[in-house]
Amino acid sequence: MHKTLDHFAEKFESELVEEINHLGQVRRYKAGKVLIDFGSNVTDIPLVLSGAIKVVREDRQGRELFLYFLGGGDTCAMSLTCCMNQKKSEIKAIVEEDAEVIMIPLHYMDGWMKYTSWRQFVFGSYNERFEEMLNAVDSLAFMKLDERLMNYLLDCKQSAGDFTIRKTHQQIATDLNTSRVVISRLLKKLEQEGQIELHRNMIEIL
pTM of the model: 0.68
* CB neighbour class for 67 (10 Å; exposed up to 12, middle 13-18, buried from 19): buried
How far is Cα 145 from Cα 150, in angstroms, rounded to an integer?
9
What number does CATH give the domain 3-141? 2.60.120.10
Same CATH topology for 3-141 and 144-205: the answer is no
Helix residue ranges, H only, 14-115 = 14-23, 77-84
> What residue segments make up the domains of the chain, in order of their start?
3-141, 144-205
pLDDT tens, position by position, for the chain (206 residues)?
A: 454 567 777 788 888 888 888 888 899 999 889 988 888 888 888 888 888 888 888 777 777 778 888 888 888 877 777 666 667 888 888 898 899 999 888 888 878 889 999 889 888 888 887 777 777 776 666 668 888 888 888 888 877 777 888 888 888 888 887 888 888 888 988 888 888 888 887 888 88
CA quadruple 61, 141, 94, 190: dihedral sign? positive
Among 79, 145, 84, which residue's Cα sits nearest to residue 112? 84
CA distance 108 to 110: 6
* Paired strand residues for 94: 34, 54
CATH ID of 144-205, from 1.10.3720.10, 1.20.20.10, 1.10.10.10, 3.30.420.40: 1.10.10.10
